[in-house]
């Protein structure tokens, strides 16, 4: 299974915020939309990534007053990227090695989507379920004369 197949199943909804937005706005969007990451866009280009990890680290570091902090101060400025033709097994290894829960998928400078580790797990389960059903159908339809051979 390829990353582009996961994106096709998941859909292309992206949640974004500008670098001048505040952490309060980001937390509001993330909780309202039930997402763990936001892509940071400026002038039509991805300039960073914000996940709940960065938000929580900043809150722990600064304590009160975190709501007015700008996204630019907290975001990951050069997030690691993956391509749509990457195999899912390679993607899983990449995400585990780099301790990433959310990974932007780019193709020729265009952001296609963000894949979460949850998306990967769901896709793998669906693929395994499909393979399991195919094997059961194959076994059920096994020719009777092969049993006596």
Question: Does the structure show a pLDDT above 60 at 67?
Answer: yes
What pLDDT is recorded for position 143? 67
Domain boundaries, the chain: 3-140
Tens digits of per-residue pLDDT, 123-144? 877 776 666 677 777 777 776 5
Per-residue confidence (pLDDT) for residue 140, from 0 to 100:
75
DSSP one-letter string for 77-145: SS---B-TT-BHHHHHHHHHHTT-SEEEEEETTEEEEEEEHHHHHHHHHHHHHHHHHHHHHHHHT--TH
The predicted pLDDT at position 37 comes to 95
Query: Who wins on pLDDT, 25 or 109?
Result: 25
Dihedral sign (CA 13, 53, 41, 114): negative
Does domain 3-140 match CATH 3.10.580.10?
Answer: yes
Give pLDDT, residue 129.
63
């Amino acid at each position: 299974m390829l990353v582009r197949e996961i994106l096709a199943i998941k859909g292309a909804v992206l949640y974004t915020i500008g670098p001048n937005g505040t952490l309060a706005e980001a937390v509001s969007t993330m909780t309202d939309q039930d997402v763990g990451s936001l892509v940071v866009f400026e002038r039509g280009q991805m300039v960073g990534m914000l996940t709940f990890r960065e938000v929580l680290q900043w809150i722990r570091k600064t304590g009160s007053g975190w709501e007015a902090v700008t996204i630019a101060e907290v975001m990951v400025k050069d997030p690691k990227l993956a391509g749509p033709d990457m195999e899912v097994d390679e993607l899983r290894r990449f995400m585990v090695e780099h301790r990433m829960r959310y990974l932007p998928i780019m193709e020729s400078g265009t952001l296609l989507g963000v894949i979460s580790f949850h998306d990967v797990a769901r896709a793998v389960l669906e693929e395994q379920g499909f393979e399991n059903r195919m094997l059961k159908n194959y076994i059920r339809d096994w020719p009777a004369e092969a049993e006596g051979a």
